[in-house]
Structure 1
Amino acid sequence: MMRGFWSVYRKELYLVFASPIFFAVAFIFLVLNGYFFYSSVAYYNMVSFQAGQNPFMAQQLNVMDVVVRPLFMDLSIVLLLVAPLLTMRVYADERRTGTVELLFTLPVTDGAALVAKFLGVLSVLTLLLAGTLPSMALLGFLTDLNWKAVLSAYLGLWLLGAAFMALGVFTSSLTKNQIIAAVLSFGALLLFWVVSWMSSVLGPGASRFIEYLSIIRHFDSFSKGVLDSRDITYYLIFIAFFFFVTLRQIESYRWRG
């Protein structure tokens, strides 16, 4: 089933790190993380100064609510923008250059190739998130940080990013053009992001279903430091579904020769 996995995985990592797109995306992601972190901390300092004159306000002040949660929500929006850039070449470039036909002739199963390509971009996501750890370490040094809640938020952001990547890999398999793949990915992700906005005009049953489909709603609990098995299950099902449709798309290329 996983024959040829490591060769494809190493190739994907090489192509990612050899591309200027990775360095541009990493630079933008980390700069924005630094900006959001600084803004959140500056706001926390301002509110703390005001709370020093108001005991009731001081009791309500929480670094998780004022700094960490807004920071992770901002990073989730950044991932919405950068995920299509990281996944757009995964299959689209293979089809454009004709190497996808070569991939079919190698002793590599379609499933192994898909998992290797997905884990390649997921490794990049993990590296980007690891780049934000120094800011969290600094915050933990300066304040009494709830690390369990922080790790929960990181897990949620990682699962959210993995879901983004799974959909992005699928859209990349639909076309030979990387730009079209990125646009399709962003449009689909944006739809899953805003789909819950329709819930206010639907009936109770349909409203609950639409809200469940919202990809960002399931991240909300993680950002609060709450681990909910229903949210984890949602992301795993989301990833598995796009794995399935991507494999069906790749198999269709075999049928068409």
Structure 2
Amino acid sequence: MGAIYRREVGAFFTSSIAYVFLTVFYLASGYFFFGSCLASATTDMSGVFSSLFLIVTILIPILTMRLFSEEKKQKTEQGLLTAPVSIGGIVLGKYFAALTMYTIGIAILFLYALILSFFGAVAWGIVAANVLALFFLGAAFIAVTLFISSLTENQVVAAVIGIIALLALYLLDLIAQLVDSVPVLPTVLNALSFYTRYYDFTCGLFDPASVLFYISTAVLFNFFTVRVFEKRRWS
């Protein structure tokens, strides 16, 4: 797994995906930071974290689109599958490489909080909880889009389907309202809502159940990805 992880982290920078991801994330987060905090003269960063949900929804599929689809397109997938490493190690190596890049991106939020601390008191506990929530949200979304990348050899298709899938998860609350006349379904959709759980963190509510929800999603979709490649290995 370590070799796969190091290879993929290096590939992010040689393919320029890391630069695109980090640049867009820093510009978007900086814009929200200026508008929500600096321009409003407040140390409350809840507006920044709330706005970043949609940005993450769009950027993560771009971060993960090549991880498996490129292997399939360049015909290197079979070599990878026959390498002396478990499929789980391959999937987790790529998964943690993407998660590392994502973590580098969201780490800048601590810098924003540090800047605000020169102008007033910053609730560091709430900031840390929000960054942690953003981390777990990203961990879940990366697993979902990594699974999508394993299903196609076209990077663009992987990115587009990934964005659509994450937007669907983002809109679960709205969908629940539209089908409120259907028994049970709204309750199920609200229970699966990624945004509601994330929004609670931006309001200062740390819910261990939400953390478990995000971790479970990441584990489940990584398992699905492993199953996809186990089927290919023996087909």
TM bin (shorter chain) = over 0.9
Alignment of 1:144 onto 2:140: no
- Report the CA distance between 1:79 and its aligned residue: 0.8
Deviations 1:55-100 (A, max 9, x none): xxxxxxx743xxx111011112111111000000010001111111
Superposition TM-score, scaled by structure 1 size: 0.87
* Correspondent of 1:37 among 25, 28, 33: 33
Superposition TM-score, scaled by structure 2 size: 0.94
The AA in structure 2 aligned to 1:236 is: I
Deviates more, 1:15-24 or 1:117-126: 15-24
* Ranges in structure 2 where 5+ consecutive residues have no aligned partner: none
Cα separation, 1, equivalents of 2:186 and 2:39: 36
Deviations 1:8-60 (A, max 9, x none): 11111110121212112211111111111111124423xxxxxxxxxxxxxxx
* Ranges in structure 1 where 5+ consecutive residues have no aligned partner: 46-61
* Correspondent of 1:244 among 203, 223, 229: 223
Aligned-CA RMSD value = 1.4
- Report the CA distance between 1:205 and its aligned residue: 3.1
Correspondence for 2:200 = 221
- Report the CA distance between 1:206 and its aligned residue: 2.5
Correspondence for 2:20 = 24
State the number of aligned residues. Answer: 233
* Correspondent of 1:69 among 30, 46, 69: 46
Cα separation, 2, equivalents of 1:28 and 1:217: 25
Q: Alpha carbons of 1:42 and 1:140: their partners in 2 closer, same or farther (altered >3 Å)?
A: closer
Deviates more, 1:195-204 or 1:127-136: 195-204
What does 1:31-110 align with in structure 2 at a 5 Å threshold?
31-45=27-41, 63-64=43-44, 68-110=45-87
CA contact (8 A) 2:43 2:116 kept: no
Deviations 1:205-235 (A, max 9, x none): 3222111111111101211222111101110
- Report the CA distance between 1:248 and its aligned residue: 1.2
Deviations 1:107-150 (A, max 9, x none): 11000111110000000001001123221100122111110011
Cα separation, 1, equivalents of 2:190 and 2:160: 24
Correspondence for 1:52 = none
Correspondence for 2:141 = 164
Deviates more, 1:157-166 or 1:131-140: 131-140
